[in-house]
Structure 1
Amino acid sequence: MAQSGDERDKAPRTARGERTRRALLAAAAEEFGEKGFHEGSISGITRRAGCALGSFYTYFDTKDDIFRALVADMSGQVRDYVAPRIAQARDGIDAERLGLLSFLEFARGHKEIYRIIDEAEFVDQAAYRNHYESTAARILVRLQEAAARGEVGAEPDEVHAWAIMGMNVFLGLRFGVWDDSRPAEEVAGIVNGLIERGIGASGRD
């Protein structure tokens, strides 16, 4: 997501400043994840971060501002956690298994992400859409690359990408947030069987 001039002006200029900003974002994740956007407060964020109220306004203008930054940051965290694991895939179909597996792992360690992203639909529609549209775009690129290597039978379409993302989102909710007792590897393996039989190269005539 592009930054405005004001957001760039508030970007940390030192390592210490970056640590403070990261602490505020982590505290905001806790505050909004526990209380929601409307009940969460700037004072609650600074208290959790262990910093002065003035430090908040060094990097953010409003509660909306830090929430918007948090949505973009959490989306980036998911991307950065999943990408190196997908890079280890045997092929394009295995990449989707590893994508779901790593997302389940991430969701289990960051259960607040669902409440934060869901509230973004009503607090910041642009950030909400960007989260899902950018995720689906990355999946589509992976599928297209797999098709070029002959690993995917169907001609990759945006519908395939959104379908896979949709499965991952709700599986993360069911087996990451609501109940994380079932082995993530088992869940990812079952879903990968569906994907392989649906768009795998073996399905081509």
Structure 2
Amino acid sequence: MGFVNKPKTVKGQETLDKIILEAERLFSEQGYYKTSVKEITKAAEVGIGTFYIYFKDKRSVYQAILTDYGHIIRKTIAENISQADTRIEAERIGIETFLNLVRTRPSMYNVIWQALYVDKKLFIDYYTTFSENYKKQIRAAQDKGEIIKSYDPEVLSYMLMGISNFIGLRYAMFDDKDDLDPILDDVMKVMVKGLYSKE
């Protein structure tokens, strides 16, 4: 990541991790624009000069967090769906993995969606990267005959991301007490059988 100066020692990595952790917490709790570098360094118990060893500015640490979120989500989903036998099974596991991730790190929604106001290009790039990865999986499933080949992979990628994002909002951010199994059952029924009655 070009916006982070990577440390060369274990102690340096620990310091960097503290800065990122506190920046993430503050961005989530009070927003990007209401958070200052001074507040981040105070919370991380480091000097302001130490912050600038690793980051050019506040936007750089925000971008590091955003990039890390994307990497964690994609990597965790990829690991969990690797043993799936079908695309349908992989889709369910992927959605469940995403919901469990945001349940354990609810700050993800707060921080990610702020990108729309911090820098619209960051927001676009974040979801475009997800779409590009999704499209590869969709095309592979189309080649196997699991997904109808005439459907546009890009349209499908954003539809499926939309399902995950808004199911996540309701059942991971608004309220995380619900059992995910019946929710996932309904989502998968709609995906497999369609939405509208054929009568």
| Superposed pair shares fold, TM > 0.5 | yes
CA distances 1:106-139 after superposition (whole Å, capped 9, x unpaired): 1111111111111111112221111111112222
Does the aligned pair in 2 maintain the 1:32–1:116 contact within 8 Å?
yes
Alignment of 1:104-143 (within 5 A): 104-143=99-138
Gaps of 5+ in 2: 195-199
Q: CA deviation at 1:197?
A: 2.4
Unmatched 5+ stretches in structure 1: 199-205
Q: 1:47 to 1:189 in 2, by over 3 A?
A: farther
Shift of 1:60: 0.7
Pairing partner for 2:42 from 36, 43, 47: 47
**Closer/same/farther in 2, CA of residues 125 and 194 from structure 1, 3 Å limit:** same
2:6 paired residue among 11, 21, 26: 11
Q: 1:18-74: per-residue Cα shift (whole Å, max 9, x none)? A: 232222112111010000011112222223323332221110121122112211111
Contact 1:72/1:127, CA 8 A, preserved across alignment: no
Contact 2:143–2:149 under 8 Å retained in 1: no
- Aligned-residue identity in percent: 28
2:64 maps to 1:69:
yes
1:21 match: 16
Return 48-57 or 125-134, whichever deviates more. 48-57
CA distance in 2, matches of 1:176, 1:154: 33
**Which residues in structure 2 correspond to 1:1-205 (within 5 Å)?**
3=2, 7=3, 10-157=5-152, 158-198=154-194
For residue 33 of structure 2, give the secondary structure of its aligned residue in structure 1.
coil
Which 4+ runs in 1 deviate beyond 3 A?
A: none
Give the distance between the partners of 1:134 and 1:172, measured in 2 at CA: 19
CA distance in 2, matches of 1:187, 1:139: 22
Contact 1:24 1:46 in 2 (8 A): yes
CA distance in 2 between partners of 1:131 and 1:59 (Å): 22
**Partner letter of residue 87 of structure 1?**
S
Cα deviation digits, residues 147-186 of structure 1 (max 9, x gap): 2222223434210111000111111111110111112233
- Normalised TM-score (structure 2): 0.89
Separation in 2, partners of 1:98, 1:162: 18
Contact 2:81 2:90 in 1 (8 A): yes
The one-letter amino acid of 1:31's match is L
- With 136-145 and 94-103 compared, the bigger mean Cα shift is at 136-145
- Residue 43 to residue 183, structure 1, CA distance change in 2 (3 Å): same
TM normalised by structure 1 equals: 0.86
Paired letter, 1:172: G
| Structure 1 vs Structure 2 CA RMSD | 1.7
The change in CA–CA distance for 1:155 and 1:13 in structure 2 (over 3 A counts) is farther
The residue identity in structure 2 corresponding to 1:184 is: L
